[in-house]
Structure formats: structure tokens, C-alpha cells
Amino acid sequence: MRPVHASRNEYLLTAIAAALSLLAACVLPAAAEPARQLRIGVQYGLGYLPLYVAKDAGFLADRMRKQGLDPINVEIVPFAGGPQINDGLLSGNLEIGSGGLTAMMVVCDKTRRAGDAQLLGATALASVPYELFTTDPQLKSLRDLNKDRDRIGVPSIKISVPAIYLQMAAERLYGPGQQAALDEYTVSLAQPDGIIALLSGGGVVNGYLLSPPFIQQVSSKPGIHRAWSSNELFETPATALSTWTTVKFRRDNPKLFAAFVAAMRDAVELIDADPLRAAAIYVSNEKSKLAPDFIAGVLADKTSIAFSLAPRQSQQIAEFLSRVNSIKAKPTTWKDFFFPDIHAEDGS
């Protein structure tokens, strides 16, 4: 008869199995703690409007509920520039960042092998032209720039979107390898300060590469005229701004990330359908002194500004950045820079 107690081997196998289970529990990563808040880093400008609308119109909260989540606190956090936003993302002090598409492309390329810290685009934001307005009556085109007279303001020399556009224009004017030919004319200056300089007749700069709604502010002012537009590069407004986040945040918060993308789609639809309401949200968030009616008029002009989830003309920009070695991995499609959640959108 078989003894009622287990054999020594059976005890040994049971003990080994228990030890292996304990070991597996120790080496498996702990379950990720879901985000308790959604902090979105922004800079300033009309191009960030979908983020304001997604929050203030309640779309983020609604989409969280539809994903089966209890809505969490959403905070829009202003920053001076992209580097600070990237620091916030990588340190865990932000969940979503936003800023210039060119800066996003560069940081996505640099973090391509960074594992959880890899950064990729979540959505595009705004497509806008950047236009050179000047008080120099002799400046009719970029070929007329004069070292003794002209200084052009851009948000950041060499790396901001308008600065990159100016480099693309220089390459077209002077040939391959000459992308830096116009850099010597540029000065780092915030867009509102550029407006002040132009309206005062010239100061630190006598020209600035403006985006909406600042274009509309100065276009009819005496003594100021337009000398160049980035539409000469792309024919239509190209995506200038986007949002991005880490691989870790999207992986650990799939429902929250899906809610964010869906809320951004809702926001774009509201801006198109009700520009006056969207304009009021913009004025409230940025404490703008511009009238909502004025902003609504800018939003209604699709040749001036357009919002979409997928980027437009980004492939051409990425190819330039690759050609001048600002990014190392040669892009094959705009999708290389964005998470799959928007790959079905109509982008370029």
C-alpha cells in the first residue's frame, strides 16, 4: 500500500516549484501604477489651442469615462521651451509634452534606442505659415538681406521651427551645404517681443518670422510689410507643432493615452465647427488681449491655420533634417515619428 504521506521526491519537487514561483515573482516587473494626473506641457501660441479645448470643453474627462476610467486632474503647464518639456517628460514631472515639430523629430531620433525613455509623437497640432515681416523698405525677398541693416527675430536661433524653415530656404537659394547661410541674420527673441520691435519701428530686430495670430496683427500696419513666407517652401501651411510622450507612459496607461488622442480629435472638430467658442477658450487660457472675434476670424481662415491629428508636409522637413545630420536615422514615412494610434490618419 502507498504511504499516506508524500514521498521525499514529491516534497522536493513541491519545494522547488514553490521556490521557482517565488523567484519569478521577484524578477518580474512590478505592475505599473496608473497615472494619477495628466500634466501637459505647452508653450505659448494659437497652435496649442486643441490642448486648451480638450481640457476646457470637457473632452478629456468624457473620453476617460468612455475608456472606463475615473477622470483624473488635467493640468496645462506652460514652459519657456522644448528642452524643459523633455526634461519634464523624462523625469516623470509631465505626462505629455508639446512644441515644435522639428524639435520633436530631433529628440525622437536621439532617444530611438532609449527603451522606456524613448520619445514619440502622440498627435500633430497645428499647421501654420511662418512669414517674415520687416520694417526695412529695401527688404523685398531673402536675397535682399543686408548684414549692415537686417536682423531677423526667431524664437530660438538654429533650432526653432522658423529657424529651420529659414535654413531650408537658404539651401534652396544657395545650394546644398549652404543651409546656414542666413543664420547670421537671426536673433533669439520671443514672438511678442518681436511684435513690439516691429510696431515700434525696429529695435533689437527689424524683422520677425511670425505665425498666426501675430501675422494678422501686423499685416495692415503702416511701415511693415511681408518679405517672405514658408508657403514658398511647402505651397501650403506645414505642421509646425505636435505633442509627444514616452514609450513608458503610453505602455503603462493605454486607456488614458487612447482617451487623450480621442479628446484631441474632438477638440479639432470643435475648433472647425465653432471657432468663436474655441477663440474664447484661447483668450482665457493665454490671457490674451486680442478680442475673441479677432481670433475666431483667424481660425476660420484655413489658409492661415489648420489643426489635424496627423502631420502635414513633415516628410519634407524630416528629409532636410536628415540631410544636414540633425537626425541620424533616415526617415521613410511620417509614421516613424509617431505612435501607431494615429497611423490611420491622413498625414504626410
The mean pLDDT value for 68-72 works out to 97
- Give pLDDT, residue 70: 96
Enter the C-alpha cell of residue 260: 487623450
Q: Are residues 114 and 251 in the same domain?
A: yes
Q: Are residues 186 and 97 in the same domain?
A: no
pLDDT in tens, 76-129: 998 877 778 888 998 999 999 999 999 999 999 999 999 999 999 999 999 999
Contact yes or no for 102/158 (Cβ under 8 A): no
Domain boundary among 189, 213, 234: 234
Q: What is the CA radius of gyration of the chain?
A: 25
Tell me if 306 is assigned to some domain. yes
Separation CA 130–CA 134 (nearest Å)? 13
Tell me if 44 is assigned to some domain. yes
Tell me if 15 is assigned to some domain. no
pLDDT in tens, 146-187: 999 999 999 888 888 999 999 999 999 999 999 999 999 999
Q: Are residues 244 and 333 in the same domain?
A: yes
Q: Are residues 193 and 261 in the same domain?
A: no
Separation CA 328–CA 320 (nearest Å)? 11
- CATH code of the domain containing 198: 3.40.190
Q: Are residues 139 and 159 in the same domain?
A: yes
Q: What domain count does the chain have?
A: 2
Sequence-distant (≥ 6) Cβ neighbours of residue 291 within 8 angstroms: 283
Domain enclosing residue 211, as ranges: 131-234
Q: Are residues 204 and 252 in the same domain?
A: no
Q: How confident is the model at residue 57 (pLDDT cuts 50, 70, 90)?
A: very high
Q: How confident is the model at residue 298 (pLDDT cuts 50, 70, 90)?
A: very high
Tell me if 41 is assigned to some domain. yes
Q: What is the mean pLDDT of the chain?
A: 89
Separation CA 166–CA 181 (nearest Å)? 9
Q: Are residues 41 and 104 in the same domain?
A: yes
Separation CA 180–CA 100 (nearest Å)? 19
Q: How confident is the model at residue 43 (pLDDT cuts 50, 70, 90)?
A: confident
Write down the H helix ranges in 67-135.
82-91, 101-110
Tell me if 167 is assigned to some domain. yes
Domain boundary among 182, 200, 234: 234
- CATH code of the domain containing 306: 3.40.190.10
Contact yes or no for 253/38 (Cβ under 8 A): no
Q: Are residues 116 and 245 in the same domain?
A: yes
Sequence-distant (≥ 6) Cβ neighbours of residue 24 within 8 angstroms: none
CB atoms within 10 A of CB 42: 23
- Give pLDDT, residue 232: 94
Q: Are residues 171 and 191 in the same domain?
A: yes
Domain boundary among 174, 204, 234: 234
Tell me if 28 is assigned to some domain. no
Tell me if 198 is assigned to some domain. yes
Q: Are residues 119 and 262 in the same domain?
A: yes
Q: Are residues 144 and 219 in the same domain?
A: yes
Write out the DSSP string of 258-269.
Answer: HHHHHHHHHHHH
Question: What is the model's pTM?
Answer: 0.86
Q: Are residues 170 and 305 in the same domain?
A: no
Distances (CA, A) of 233 to 124, 157, 162, 170, 264: 20, 19, 12, 11, 28
Q: Quick check: bond before 213 cis, omega within 30?
A: yes
